[in-house]
């Protein structure tokens, strides 16, 4: 089950418009299982909702309050079952959003601040989403059963093109490592080296010789992946990259990452279409289970609104 995506296009529109920050007080507005939610928390989340979804102020505030209540419940349940998202995971998700918007993490943070949103507001949201995804996955993975008849029926109704053709990629990952506490000059140097590696890369067979010229560069085999199995944030980059070339460097919490397309082949098979349809059915079933689970947490929770 994927983490629910923010509307990046609308976020970009909101950032460009550059509206000013709202006044933020810091009084306790809601208490969820002894965890306070302040008016500052609500104002910040509401501002983020406005930027991402273009909602009126009153609607955004109502949505923000409900989101924050649910986030407290999700994080509390995650902690109860021993799940705590790492800062690396949160930073990675944050960098992924920035990359999809053609920004660095620092640029996204600056844009949010310009619009009166503390970057931690988005990171807190991502942390709750990551935690909830793991909780639901661990609890319901074995419960979600998709029958063959369901897949066949959904495949017949689907509008997937080339249902009988599957595209498979042979991939490797290249990481130009940047230490967490690296100076800005070192980060810039590693970014230039990443661009140089991408420019000079001519194939996976000769990758070792090229990468050996640089310090702290990791080459990791990914293996063969169907197009439907590619990560959503990398799919477009991979499918538009020629065999023997690299995707554009993406800044993550580990450094600058690229994917090498070592091979690509079309197969006379409906495997990709079947995989996509089955994933859609699993997500639909998972979404229903998530809603029930969250409703159960709400019913058991002590929620005091002031």
Q: What is the spatial distance between Cα 190 and Cα 183, in angstroms, rounded to a whole number? A: 11
pLDDT 10s digits, 253-288:
889 999 999 998 876 655 566 666 666 666 666 677
Region 293-302: mean pLDDT is 90
Alpha helices per DSSP H over the chain: 8-17, 39-53, 57-80, 87-100, 105-114, 119-140, 148-157, 184-200, 207-211, 235-239, 271-300
Greatest Cα pair distance in the chain = 65
What integer best gives the mean pLDDT of the chain?
A: 82
- Residue range 166-267 forms a domain whose CATH class is alpha beta
Q: Does residue 207 contact residue 198 with C-beta atoms inside 8 Å? A: no
Lateral strand order in the sheet of 303-305: 35-38, 28-32, 303-305
List, edge to edge, every strand of the sheet that includes 250-252: 217-226, 166-177, 255-267, 250-252
Domain ranges within the chain, ordered by starting residue: 8-141+301-305, 166-267
Distance CA 17, CA 111 (A): 10
Compute the Cα dihedral for 182, 188, 194, 196 and give only its sign. Answer: negative
**Per-residue model confidence (pLDDT) at position 204:** 93
Taking 90 as the threshold, does the pLDDT of residue 66 lie above it?
Answer: yes
Q: How many CB atoms lie within 10 A of CB 11?
A: 23
Banded model confidence at residue 228, pLDDT cuts 50, 70, 90: confident
Q: What secondary structure, in 3-state letters, does 268-283 show? A: CCCHHHHHHHHHHHHH
More confident residue, 122 or 87: 122
The CATH class of 8-141+301-305 is: mainly alpha
**Global confidence as pTM:** 0.59
């Amino acid at each position: 089950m994927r983490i629910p995506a923010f509307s990046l296009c609308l976020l970009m529109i909101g950032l460009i418009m550059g509206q000013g920050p709202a006044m933020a007080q810091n009084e306790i507005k809601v208490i969820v299982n002894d965890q306070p939610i302040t008016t500052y928390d609500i104002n910040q989340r509401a501002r983020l909702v406005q930027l991402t979804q273009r909602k009126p102020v009153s609607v955004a505030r109502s949505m923000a309050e409900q989101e924050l209540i649910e986030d407290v419940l999700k994080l509390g349940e995650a902690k109860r079952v021993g799940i705590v998202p790492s800062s690396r995971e949160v930073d990675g998700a944050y960098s992924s959003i920035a990359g999809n918007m053609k920004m660095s993490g620092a640029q996204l943070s600056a844009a949010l601040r310009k619009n009166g949103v503390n970057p931690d507001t988005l990171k807190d949201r991502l942390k709750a989403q990551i935690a909830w995804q793991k909780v639901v996955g661990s609890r319901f993975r074995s419960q979600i059963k998709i029958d063959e008849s369901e897949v066949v029926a959904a495949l017949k109704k689907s509008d997937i093109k080339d249902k009988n053709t599957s595209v498979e990629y042979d991939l490797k990952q290249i990481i130009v490592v940047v230490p967490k506490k690296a100076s800005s000059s070192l980060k810039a140097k590693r970014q230039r080296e990443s661009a140089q590696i991408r420019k000079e890369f001519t194939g996976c067979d000769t990758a070792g010789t090229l990468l050996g010229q640089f310090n702290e560069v990791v080459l990791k085999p990914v293996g063969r992946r169907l197009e439907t199995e590619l990560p959503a944030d990398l799919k477009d980059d991979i499918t538009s990259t020629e065999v023997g070339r690299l995707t554009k460097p993406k800044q993550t919490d580990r450094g600058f990452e690229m994917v090498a397309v070592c091979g690509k082949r079309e197969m006379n098979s409906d495997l990709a279409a079947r995989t996509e349809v089955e994933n859609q059915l699993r997500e639909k079933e998972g979404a229903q289970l998530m809603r029930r689970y969250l409703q159960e947490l709400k019913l058991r929770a002590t929620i005091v609104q002031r």
